[in-house]
Amino acid sequence: MRLLVGLGVTVLGLCAGLGWYLAPLEPNILALQFAYTPRAFAAVIHVWPAEHLARYRAHLPVDGLLLLAYGTWGYLFASRNVLWKHLGGVSRWVGIWALPLAAACDAVEDGLHWWLTEVPRFDLPLPYLLAGFSASLKWIMALAFLAAILYAISRAPED
């Protein structure tokens, strides 16, 4: 239980810290996450001054810690919490694996963004598409986890 609480506090702290650190970026990082083409990606990073691009790149290692923390927390929460014990099949699977899969997609996105922001690579459209697709899957998996929690709560036996 202590590990679960510690990871939860870590996730919240890292989210708050990264949110504060990245707040000056305009357009915000969601615009970059959903940039599926070199043109859309360039439309974001060319608006940022050099220090904002450096700020974005500097956040990526910390985001790596965050994705490890939330992926682990999600797995442990869903596999050990009594809320999930009465569920089976797809609902239980989604609950257990949604956040670890989101973290894996986040890692792919971060790796590609690290590489794509190092030097211009606008002649290679596939990495931009993969980064945007990974970001989309990350958010879909995070929302699926939330939906699984709500479903589990709605199906919990009354005591």
Residue pair 125/113 in contact (Cβ under 8 Å)? The answer is no
Mean pLDDT throughout 78-91? 82
User: Residue 34 phi/psi, 5° resolution?
Assistant: -105, 25
Residue 101 has pLDDT above 70, yes or no: yes
> Where are the strands (E) in the chain, listed by range?
none
Q: What does pTM read for this prediction? A: 0.92
Higher local confidence (pLDDT), 153 or 115? 115
- Whole-number Å distance between alpha carbons of 47 and 4: 40
What are the domain boundaries of the chain?
A: 2-155
* Three-state SS at 27: coil
